[in-house]
Amino acid sequence: MNLGRRHRSARAGMSGRQLLVAQVALVGSLCAAVFLRELPSIMRELRIYRMTGGLRANRRYP
């Protein structure tokens, strides 16, 4: 009897490290896609912020 040996299944799956790398790649690509999709609206908000005076405008806009 071979009690010390572990049996591999017929389907050799991914290792834990490979799965972690795949998950990091997926989450990173989703974050990049959301950022690139929202980039025009972020630029518009920054332009409005600069037009209203930014940090110096606290007296004009309470």
Residue 7 scores a pLDDT above 90: no
Q: Cα separation of 62 and 58, whole Å?
A: 6
Statement: residue 59 has pLDDT above 80: no
What's CA 15's distance to the chain center, in Å? 23
Alpha carbon separation from 39 to 10, 16, 55, 58, 62 (Å, rounded): 47, 34, 22, 26, 28
Segment 2-7 shows an average pLDDT of 64
Question: So where are the chain's domains?
Answer: 16-54
The pLDDT score that the predictor gives to residue 10 is: 55
pLDDT confidence bin for 53, thresholds 50/70/90: confident
Are residues 22 and 14 in contact, defined by beta-carbon separation less than 8 angstroms? yes
